[in-house]
Structure 1
Amino acid sequence: MIELDGLDELIAKILMLRKSLGKRIYRDAITKASAAVGQTALAEAERRAAKRSGKRRPTAVVIRFPVTRRKPGEQR
Structure 2
Amino acid sequence: MRTIASTLMVLSAGVVLAGCAMQTEIIPTRGQSEAQFNKDKEACLQVARSYYGASNNDLTTSDTYLACLSSKGYETKSKF
What TM-score comes out, normalization by structure 1 length?
0.33
Instruction: Give the structure with the higher percent strand.
Output: 2
Q: Which has the higher contact order (CA 8 A, sep 6+)?
A: 2
